Amino acid sequence: MSGAPVRVAVRRLAHGEGLDLPSYATDGAAGMDVVSAENVTIEAGARHAVATGLSVAIPAGYEIQVRPRSGLAFKHGITVPNTPGTIDSDYRGELKVLLINHGNESFAIARGDRVAQLVLAPVTRASWDEVEELDATGRGSGGFGSTGGHARL
């Protein structure tokens, strides 16, 4: 962490009233835990877009990444199928947390439960330089396990 926090405008929607804003659980936390604005049960194998009751205006040059919470993933198989979810700086709709239940049991979420974490990150944009040939490398076109399996090299 460095410097002052980046200020991000946040708006509570009607169904977000009374909920905690996303917040860092510890001084060194990279992500802000975000809570659900709804009571919902996600059946085993099912997906749900969890309402947060919030919309945001992220400054240009930044994004928010929606990442799973490791405790939910490890204990219950609850994770973010599109991880990291991308919140664009020009998006003004409701921030939603997509969750999938990879566990064997249904998972109940209560309004106010912390369902994911939000990481503010800088965005570097690219522009293409189209060429006829790319520079040669040792790897070349090898990939997808070309260096061997998961055993130590």
Ligand X SMILES: O=c1ccn([C@H]2C[C@H](O)[C@@H](COP(=O)(O)OP(=O)(O)OP(=O)(O)O)O2)c(=O)[nH]1
Q: Residue from 37, 40, 42, 87 that binds ligand X (CB under 6 A)?
A: 87
b/e map of 26-62 (b: 16 or more CB within 10 Å)?
eeeeebbbbbbbbebebeeeeebebbbbbbbebeeee
Q: Residue from 23, 59, 71, 88 that binds ligand X (CB under 6 A)?
A: 88
The CA–CA distances, whole Å, from 91 to 62, 87, 88, 151 equal: 12, 7, 5, 43
Residue 141 beta carbon to ligand X: minimum distance, rounded to whole angstroms: 28
Is residue 98 within the footprint of ligand X (CB under 6 A)? yes
The CA–CA distances, whole Å, from 10 to 69, 73, 124 equal: 22, 27, 23
Q: Residue from 39, 41, 86, 106 that binds ligand X (CB under 6 A)?
A: 86
Is residue 91 within the footprint of ligand X (CB under 6 A)? yes
What part of residues 24-83 is at the interface with ligand X (CB under 6 A)?
Answer: 66, 82
Sign of the dihedral through C-alpha 59, 26, 13, 54: positive
Is residue 96 within the footprint of ligand X (CB under 6 A)? yes
Residue 74 beta carbon to ligand X: minimum distance, rounded to whole angstroms: 21
Residues that bind ligand X (CB under 6 A): 66, 82, 85-88, 91, 95-96, 98
